[in-house]
């Protein structure tokens, strides 16, 4: 049976250190988010001190869940680094003993290391460089020379932090989610399709503190139940970072059929996107969102040229955020892979934007011509009729989805 050691998770701040007088508000959101995640896993004492949030298991059952709690902390926006640290007395002999007994296992596979020390408690008898030297020597002794010192580009950093009450020993800090605390920048409505771009756009705005609601447009029977489930799975992936997302679903079937039957084919997509924007803005106002979020990237497809985007943009009386606007597809795919959305995004289930696609879409549309085509239909009546089909699905990180019928 392996020896149980006293461990704590250290979560390091990112840019909220620079927030000045507002910093306490951001810290409070970080603590609230981490406590919300910890509640399901066990009994943890979560508090902050000296630009670090501590997550301390308070019983054996919670200590057994420290791996899962570490993963949860890595998905909290606002932390740039997360690490599991050994807690011990602030005595040199105790620190060296813990380093020798436990660090070799934690750095297994690394060929080089560097030892560092931070001394927040200046009463500790050794300076930071002196303590780092002692720790480095202990690692070399414990590993019998199997790992070498590299001060400039080490595989792993072994660090000791001397704080108010205890010493904390850790190796191999893991990257956190970065950004600023979720919900600290207002609420935004994400147009969530089944593609690669929109989940990445949602992730990037959530990273900047925007609390997400989502809207998805379906066109049954032209789009399938599998396409709908794919979108809900993408929302589920985003809940690794947001914990919960409500996806509002609206049918565009009648609108698309009427556009097909009455309007110039070259304008199908542009007309559809104006309806989508109008419906999104209407919903955003109803659920108190401050902005619309889309996954558009300039020039990526015909409907995302500068003139085409403007045709859609004039339908909005709220800010429209496009975090991917200057990114190329490969950059977007890299983020999609990193957040775990890519494999789901490429599943071959259609979405409403692929229904009745024009053979020769307009890339430099004139707004006046678009409006002329739009007048062939009763725009306001169709918006109201489509809006009446709305229902919502609450997607949660843990537990089953909840369907909410329109009130």
Confidence of residue 398 (pLDDT cuts 50, 70, 90): confident
Confidence of residue 355 (pLDDT cuts 50, 70, 90): low
pLDDT tens digits along 97-116: 999 999 999 999 999 999 99
- Does residue 10 carry a pLDDT above 70? yes
- Does residue 172 carry a pLDDT above 90? no
CB atoms within 10 A of CB 3: 6
Picking from 69, 39, 67, the residue whose alpha carbon sits closest to that of residue 54 is: 69
Tokens representing residue 156 in the block: 């792993």
Query: Where does 187-405 sit in CATH, by number?
Result: 3.40.50.620
Q: How much is the pLDDT for 258?
A: 95
CB atoms within 10 A of CB 380: 9
- Does residue 8 carry a pLDDT above 90? yes
Q: How much is the pLDDT for 89?
A: 95
CB atoms within 10 A of CB 306: 10
* Average pLDDT of span 210-237: 93
> Based on the number of CB atoms within 10 Å of its own CB, is 337 exposed (0-12), middle (13-18) or buried (19 or more)?
middle
Q: Where are the domains of the chain?
A: 7-175, 187-405
Name residues whose C-beta falls within 8 Å of residue 315's C-beta, 6 or more positions apart in sequence. 274, 277, 278, 281
Q: DSSP letter string over 310-357?
A: HHHHTT-SS-EE-TTTT--HHHHHHHHHHTT-HHHHTS----GGGTT-
- Does residue 190 carry a pLDDT above 60? yes
Confidence of residue 252 (pLDDT cuts 50, 70, 90): very high
Answer yes or no: are the C-beta atoms of 176 and 11 closer than 8 Å.
Answer: yes
Q: How much is the pLDDT for 356?
A: 63
CB atoms within 10 A of CB 153: 7
Strand extents, DSSP E, 172-315? 174-175, 187-191, 211-218, 244-251, 291-293
Confidence of residue 1 (pLDDT cuts 50, 70, 90): very low
pLDDT tens digits along 17-71: 888 888 889 999 999 999 999 999 999 999 988 789 999 999 999 999 999 999 9
Counting other chains too, the contacts that 308-314 makes at CB distance below 8 Å and 24 or more residues apart are 308/270, 308/362, 308/363, 308/364, 308/365, 310/367, 311/270, 311/273, 311/274, 311/365, 311/367, 311/370, 312/270, 312/273, 312/274, 312/276, 312/277, 313/277, 314/367
Strands 112-119 and 156-162: parallel
Name residues whose C-beta falls within 8 Å of residue 98's C-beta, 6 or more positions apart in sequence. 5, 86, 88, 169
What's the Rg (C-alpha) of the chain? 26
Q: How much is the pLDDT for 364?
A: 85
Give the architecture-level CATH label for domain 7-175: 2-Layer Sandwich (3.30)
The average confidence (pLDDT) of the chain is: 92
Q: How much is the pLDDT for 348?
A: 81
More confident residue, 62 or 2: 62
Q: How much is the pLDDT for 351?
A: 67
Answer yes or no: are the C-beta atoms of 160 and 120 closer than 8 Å.
Answer: no
Confidence of residue 215 (pLDDT cuts 50, 70, 90): very high
Confidence of residue 304 (pLDDT cuts 50, 70, 90): confident
Picking from 270, 243, 292, the residue whose alpha carbon sits closest to that of residue 367 is: 270
- Does residue 4 carry a pLDDT above 80? no
* Average pLDDT of span 372-389: 96
* Average pLDDT of span 184-204: 96
The residues facing 129 across adjacent strands are none
Task: Express the helix, strand and coil content of the chain in percent, nearest 5 each.
Answer: 40, 20, 35
- Does residue 404 carry a pLDDT above 80? no
- Does residue 407 carry a pLDDT above 70? no
pLDDT tens digits along 79-92: 999 999 999 999 99
Q: CA 378 from chain center: how many Å?
A: 39
Distances (CA, A) of 396 to 29, 46, 61, 403: 19, 23, 24, 12
Neighbouring C-alpha atoms within 13 Å toward the C-beta of 30: 33
More confident residue, 220 or 281: 281
């Amino acid at each position: 049976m392996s020896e149980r050691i006293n461990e704590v998770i250290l979560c390091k701040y990112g840019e909220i250190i620079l927030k000045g007088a507002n910093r306490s508000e951001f810290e409070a959101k970080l603590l609230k988010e981490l406590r919300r995640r910890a509640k399901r896993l066990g009994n943890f004492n979560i508090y902050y001190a000296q630009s670090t949030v501590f997550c301390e298991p308070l019983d054996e059952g919670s200590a057994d869940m420290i791996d899962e709690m570490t993963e949860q902390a890595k998905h909290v926006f606002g932390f740039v680094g997360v690490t599991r640290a050994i807690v011990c007395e602030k005595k040199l002999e105790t620190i060296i003993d813990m380093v020798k007994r436990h660090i070799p296992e934690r750095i297994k596979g690394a060929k080089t290391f560097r030892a560092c020390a931070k001394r927040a408690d200046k009463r500790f008898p050794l300076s930071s460089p002196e303590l780092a030297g002692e720790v480095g020597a202990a690692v070399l002794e414990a590993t019998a020379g199997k790992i070498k010192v590299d001060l400039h580009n080490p595989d792993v950093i072994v660090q000791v932090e001397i704080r108010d009450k205890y010493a904390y020993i850790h190796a191999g800090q893991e990257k956190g989610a970065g950004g600023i605390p979720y919900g600290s920048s207002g609420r935004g409505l994400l147009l969530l399709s089944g593609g690669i771009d929109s989940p990445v756009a949602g992730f990037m705005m959530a990273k900047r503190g925007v609390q997400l609601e989502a809207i998805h447009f379906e066109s049954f029977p032209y789009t399938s139940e599998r396409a709908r489930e794919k979108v809900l799975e993408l929302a589920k992936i985003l809940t690794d970072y947001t914990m919960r997302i409500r996806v509002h679903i609206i049918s565009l079937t009648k609108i698309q059929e009427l556009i097909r039957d009455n309007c110039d084919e070259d304008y199908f997509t542009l007309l559809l996107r104006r309806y989508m924007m109008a419906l999104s803005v209407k919903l955003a106002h109803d659920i108190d969102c401050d902005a619309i979020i889309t996954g558009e990237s300039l020039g990526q497809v015909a409907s995302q040229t500068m003139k085409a985007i403007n045709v859609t943009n004039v339908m909005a009386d709220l800010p429209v955020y496009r975090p991917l606007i200057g990114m190329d597809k490969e950059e977007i795919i890299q983020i999609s892979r990193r957040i775990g959305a890519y494999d789901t995004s490429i599943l071959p289930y259609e979405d409403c934007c692929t229904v009745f696609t024009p053979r020769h879409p307009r890339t430099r549309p004139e707004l006046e011509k678009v409006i002329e085509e739009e007048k062939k239909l009763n725009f306001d009546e169709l918006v109201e009729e489509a809006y009446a089909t709305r229902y919502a699905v609450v997607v949660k990180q843990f537990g089953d989805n909840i369907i909410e019928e329109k009130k």
